Amino acid sequence: MKSYLETGREVAEALASGRPVVALESTIISHGMPWPKNVETALLVEETVRANGAVPATIAVIEGVLKAGLERSEIERLGKAGLAVIKASRRDLPRLVAFGLDGATTVAATMIIAAKAGIRVFATGGIGGVHRGAETSWDVSADLEELAHTQVAVVCAGAKAILDLEKTLEFLETRGVPVIGYGTDELPAFYSARSGLKLEEREDEPEGIARRMIATWGLGFPSGLVVANPVPASMSMNPDIIEAAIGDALKAAQTARVKGKEVTPFLLAKIKELTSGESLESNIALVLNNAALAARIAVEYARLMRAQPQSAVC
């Protein structure tokens, strides 16, 4: 792996000394927002992680090298290239490595690289899931399968609202992936704090999440965890307004014959247009909120791991 994976110096030093580290994805830079808002947001997310006591590790593939901890110049490289950068999931990583290409990592690919680097906590906006109409299209994000067998805790505002949230939650339950509401008893709906879908688990403190991580992996369970953190109330959008925008965006995608991994960025861009930018501001707020919580969880996880007897460490 050493020839394929490069860990940034600050991240490597933090991991070696048992200090908290938070992984961050890079599709939000290339495919989630326009330049220069994408780079500004990525740097602000890193600052938020630092302000809450952890080291940020933005993850991507640069010239065929899996990177855990990007330099500012590399973040700007992805931001300026935008949609020209390959949106990289699990299946894309070998191709990028083989041919020395750049790739912005999805939740699935970020989890893979984070786990290989030894990073256990990851902050993102929302996970992928079961797309609406999947009963005929079979469009299900690779994020869900990755969560089933990669030991990383993913802090998110639920699954992206463009998805079938009920089916996504059912898929995760079937694959044995814990979905833990942070300060909530129901699954957040990305732009909105509530979905009406009840969760089986709730935690109100970062320490509780960290203890759940240690117990899950100490028992040898292979799955990650989803920490569902609602968007701040002040930035939570009216569910009726966002649902109407999603419906119109889905129709536009069907008319334009958008398929596969291009669906999500197309829909998010269309929803931003239909909501006059309100959805983008909500998206930024929830990403920052998730980064802050992920850092606090990473701090507690590092503290508890230091106190663990060596035999209990997975």
Q: Which residues are catalytic?
A: 25, 160
Q: Tokens for 212?
A: 């759940």
Kindly report the three-state secondary structure assignment for every residue of 227-282.
Answer: EECCCCHHHCCCHHHHHHHHHHHHHHHHHCCCCHHHHHHHHHHHHHHHCCCHHHHH
Q: How far is CA 29 from CA 17, 146, 265, in A?
A: 29, 21, 11
Q: How many residues does the chain have?
A: 314
| Phi/psi of residue 36, nearest 5 degrees | -95, 5
Which residues, in sequence order, are CB contacts of 297 under 8 Å at separation 6+? 121, 153, 155, 206, 209, 210, 213, 227
What number of other Cβ atoms are within 10 A of residue 77's Cβ?
Answer: 19
Which residues, in sequence order, are CB contacts of 220 under 8 Å at separation 6+? 314
Burial class (CB in 10 A: 0-12, 13-18, 19+), 135: exposed
Q: How far apart are CA 184 and CA 204, in angstroms?
A: 8
- In the DSSP assignment, the letter for residue 125 is S
Closest CA to 29 of 97, 110, 96: 110
Q: Establish how many alpha carbons lie within 13 A of residue 243's alpha carbon, considering only the half-sphere containing its beta carbon.
A: 9
Q: How far apart are CA 118 and CA 96, in angstroms?
A: 21
Closest CA to 221 of 146, 312, 148, 113: 148
